[in-house]
Amino acid sequence: MTQTFSIRKAELRDAPFIAAFNSAMALETEHKRLLPERIDAGVLRLLNDPSLGFYAVAERGGQVIGCLLVTNEWSDWRNGLFWWIQSVYIEPGSRRQGVYRGLYDFIRDMARADPGICGFRLYVEKDNAAAQKTYRSLGMEATDYLIFEELKAGVRYFGESS
């Protein structure tokens, strides 16, 4: 039997949980160790500046059990914002219980109420078949786009790999 949980927008008090979840997710999915001082500052910066986006958290019994981050991308083609879903993490003991679906439904409902939002996007590790199956089950489709990036030289983002 699935236990009940609630979903809400994150608050400053959630920062330690979100930073810990982001660190666990980076290690689990990409084998990267985030620098605590960088992820802690990054989470706090977003929570203090809503123009950067927002976190949604799932909570059971007063304990945060999952989260995701939403950031904005302007689409001039659509004259609207895409919401990028990032930093998804559900604590291991709460997985396969509908927590991600609850988080996704929460932001989907927010987007439906806002005429300026034109859709959702996310990126997923190409070998993460379980996550891809989950995203497809919610109505998302793979695109023809690949993600490229260039990190700013001389800035350290990760600690020693495991």
CATH classification at residue 73: 3.40.630.30
Where in the sequence is the domain holding 69, given as residue range(s)? 6-137
| H helical segments located in the chain | 15-30, 36-48, 99-112, 129-137
Number of domains in the chain: 1
DSSP output for 89-103: EE-GGGTTSSHHHHH
Asked, for residue 160, whether it belongs to a domain, the answer is no
Rounded to an integer, the average pLDDT of 17-27 is 96
**Domain annotation covers residue 22:** yes
Mean per-residue pLDDT over the chain, rounded:
92
Tell me the pTM.
0.88
Dig out the tokens for 30 from the structure. 């990409």
> Quick check: helix, strand or coil at residue 62?
coil
Q: Terminus-to-terminus CA distance in the chain, angstroms?
A: 36
Q: Is there a domain that residue 109 lies in?
A: yes
For residue 142, tell me if it sits in a domain: no
- pLDDT, position 161: 62
Residue 155 resides in a domain: no
Residue 157 in domain: no
User: In the prediction, which pLDDT does 108 show?
Assistant: 95
CB 86 within 8 A of CB 71: yes
